């Protein structure tokens, strides 16, 4: 005999053995419970579609550099006799940075040698090195007694000045992403994984290195006294900004 036929019969038998008022009470309570169950209303809200800005993010890294530099070269045949400014100093245009003294004794007057007119005016005993622009000295090789430059050696600047102390990010950009950059694009620049500043694309890559397929862009930064030349930074640029 199959169990699927026996079970309904047994269930019916059990119900018949119950008193009539018990069955009615059970049915009544079941109906009341069903009526008391809260109904959930579905609310529909209509929102008018609007336009929004979309932008593809371009991630780049690089190092902080001076936006523009002014350099000061010493004259050959002189030694440094006095240093009046050093790295980190803020200087004004025309400010005295160092004094140089002529190396060796002054040339003797009169013969032997060509006439004085052919030799030209004698070299001054001292020379002053002055800042050609206002800014912050970011590098100095000046040392008391050091020869300004040796004969036969390429001259090197004795002072490097970040003009107006403007610092920006020299960012490395993959060659495939270079066409996505345009001047004025907004960027968020994270300095040394420590704090972030706002910035903008100032210069876009003019060319892509054919060997390594990289290019370089310049991002201007908001001024901050914590910035230093050579710091590592990463930036997120809002490229291909569009509205849809």
Instruction: Please tell me the predicted confidence (pLDDT) of residue 10.
Output: 45
Domain carrying residue 58? 54-67+166-243
**Quick one: 150 and 171 in the same domain?**
no
CATH of the domain at 152: 2.40.50.100
The count of domains in the chain is 2
Average model confidence (pLDDT) across the chain: 81
Ranking 22-31, 38-47, 98-107, 147-156 by mean pLDDT, the lowest is 22-31
Q: Is the pLDDT of residue 124 over 60?
A: yes
Instruction: Please tell me the predicted confidence (pLDDT) of residue 11.
Output: 47
Name the residue with higher pLDDT: 145 or 243.
Answer: 145
**Quick one: 74 and 188 in the same domain?**
no
Give every CB contact of residue 42 below 8 A, 6+ residues apart in sequence. Answer: none
The pLDDT tens digits for 50-79 are 555 556 899 999 999 999 999 999 988 899
CATH of the domain at 232: 2.40.30.170
Band of pLDDT at residue 236, cut at 50, 70 and 90:
very high
Q: Is the pLDDT of residue 30 over 70?
A: no
Q: Is the pLDDT of residue 148 over 80?
A: no
Instruction: Please tell me the predicted confidence (pLDDT) of residue 45.
Output: 64
Q: Give the residue ranges of DSSP H helices in 18-75.
A: 20-36
**What is the C-alpha to C-alpha distance for residues 146 and 84, in angstroms, rounded to an integer?**
15
**Quick one: 140 and 87 in the same domain?**
yes
Residue 48 lies in a domain: no
Residue 225 lies in a domain: yes
**What is the C-alpha to C-alpha distance for residues 221 and 191, in angstroms, rounded to an integer?**
11
Residue 96 lies in a domain: yes
Name the residue with higher pLDDT: 113 or 238.
Answer: 238
Residue 115 lies in a domain: no
**Quick one: 147 and 180 in the same domain?**
no
**Quick one: 172 and 227 in the same domain?**
yes
Global pTM reads 0.68
| Burial bucket for residue 80 (CB in 10 Å: 0-12, 13-18, 19+) | buried
**Quick one: 151 and 96 in the same domain?**
yes
């Amino acid at each position: 005999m199959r169990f699927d036929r026996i079970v309904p019969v047994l269930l019916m038998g059990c119900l018949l053995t119950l008193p009539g008022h018990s069955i009615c009470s059970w049915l009544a309570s079941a109906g009341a419970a069903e009526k008391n169950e809260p109904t959930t209303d579905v609310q529909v809200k209509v929102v008018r579609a609007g336009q929004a800005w979309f932008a593809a993010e371009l991630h780049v890294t690089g190092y902080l550099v001076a936006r523009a530099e002014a350099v000061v070269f010493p004259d050959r045949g002189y030694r440094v006799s006095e240093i009046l400014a050093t790295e980190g100093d803020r200087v004004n245009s025309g400010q005295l940075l160092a004094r140089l003294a002529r190396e060796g004794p002054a040339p003797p007057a009169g013969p032997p040698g060509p006439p004085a007119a052919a030799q030209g005016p004698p070299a001054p005993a001292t020379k002053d090195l002055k800042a050609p622009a206002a800014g912050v000295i970011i590098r100095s090789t000046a040392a008391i007694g050091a020869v300004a430059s040796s004969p036969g050696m390429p001259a090197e600047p004795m002072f490097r000045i970040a003009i107006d102390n403007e610092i920006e990010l020299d960012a490395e950009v993959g060659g495939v992403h270079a066409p996505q950059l345009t001047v004025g694009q907004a960027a968020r620049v994270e300095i040394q994984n420590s704090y972030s500043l706002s910035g903008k694309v100032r210069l876009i890559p003019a060319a892509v290195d054919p060997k390594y397929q990289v290019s370089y862009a310049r991002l201007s930064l908001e001024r901050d006294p914590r910035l230093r030349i050579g710091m590592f930074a990463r930036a997120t640029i809002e490229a291909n900004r569009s509205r849809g």
